[in-house]
Amino acid sequence: MITARRIKVINTSRILREIWTRRTVSRMEIADSLGLNKSTVTNIVSELIDEGLVLPDSVGTAGPSGGRRPVYLCLNRSYGSVVGSELRPDSYVAVAVDLTGEIMFSKSERMSIAGQNLGQSFTEILERIDSEIKRSCVALLGIGVGLTGLVDPRRQLIRQSIPLRIVTEYDFHREIASTQTVPVFPENDANCCAWGELAFHRHRPVDSFIFVLVEFRELPHGMDTPERTAVGIGISFEGRVYHGASSSAGEFRSALRAESHRGQLSLDPEEAAKVETDTSVRRKFIRELSKNLALIINTFDLEAVFLGGDIEKYQNEVTEILRNEIEKNRAYDDSGECEILFSTLGDRAVAYGAAGMMLDRLFMDPETVEEPGWLRFGGVDLIPGWNKHHASP
């Protein structure tokens, strides 16, 4: 049985998400969009304004028949912030954003990070950015963590990460999340990038796409990894990131790769080492990657492909080759066009995306979430799943 309290929580969260999505919107537009009674919207918005979470933004013009001019609403940008971080074997990147997604600060430093010291490193990162958070005078509401490897975000487990030297399951919840005073969620790095496009470009109607994260890594001495090129894919279907049956969706291996080859593509280690310095090798890498992406794009009739990471430096080459491969792979001439877009965030793409994932969780629709519990967001019970973030997920 759905209680009156549950209905109010759902409506409050839906209204908040509508304001977040639209950036600025009137009470009437909210009521029309969500199919809610005007008085319900007015009462809930009044509570959110009293709470300081929502602010009047501007006054619109009256309709043709006159009457009261609509007051547009927006989120209070200084109400709270989230931090997105990327943990790499040799460094970290942290980005803090306000509730509208505007970057408040970013920080990147070298640091040795691996499985055996992951929790210690995370604590040290928080200490290093603490002064920046305090200087912003904005409350920290949550932290998203992006890292390479197999990540199960629902159970908060890192199943495996070769670059971070995690070879057996790492309980992120027990070792890290449960020790913090704000919610902390892990996610695969490429998936973070997909979350970022959904969260920070939510006014754009692009819901079904892939985000291709390409990195050319500096390999620490003695690391047992086959090559320095790394490709991960974040997949979004109808506005939600797809994780797959075992949380391994987006793990990439080229269809052209020989069975005996240890890398993700058919490049041998010598070629992989030259991908940034040898134009012919780089174009071979881009072409093989593009053939694989074209199959995915055309099979699922995707609206867009985003590319980020070190590949952003070669936008002209990538666009030319990928467009050509998409056209060659297309079954029908009148198929829809797939936009080729670049993130332009460079080494901050994963961290920024992790912040976007955290914002999306803040403004999630409780009707789509099954876990019990409630998050007290701004003193108001709003969102399922966070009231007991120290409990097992």
The structure tokens listed for 301 are: 């009739």
Residue 300 in contact with residue 208, Cβ under 8 Å? yes
The CATH class, in words, for 81-192+349-384 is: alpha beta
Please, where are the H alpha helices in 234-368?
269-273, 279-299, 315-329, 349-362
The structure tokens listed for 270 are: 């010598």
Task: Report the relative pairing of strands 304-309 and 209-216 from DSSP bridges.
Answer: parallel
The pLDDT of 166-172, averaged and rounded, is 93
- The more confidently predicted of residues 286 and 382 is 286
4-75 to CATH, choices 1.10.10.10, 3.90.470.10, 3.30.565.10, 3.30.9.10: 1.10.10.10
What are the residue boundaries of the structural domains of the chain, listed by start?
4-75, 81-192+349-384, 201-347
| pLDDT tens digits for range 91-136 | 999 999 999 889 999 999 999 998 878 999 999 999 999 999 999 8
Predicted structure pTM score = 0.85
Place of tokens 């074209």: 294
The pLDDT score that the predictor gives to residue 65 is 58
Angle among Cα 384, 197, 114 to the nearest 5 degrees reads: 75
Same fold, 4-75 and 81-192+349-384: no
Q: Which of 133-137, 260-264, 387-391 has the lowest mean pLDDT?
A: 387-391
Residue 233 in contact with residue 192, Cβ under 8 Å? no
Q: What is the CATH number of domain 201-347?
A: 3.30.420.40
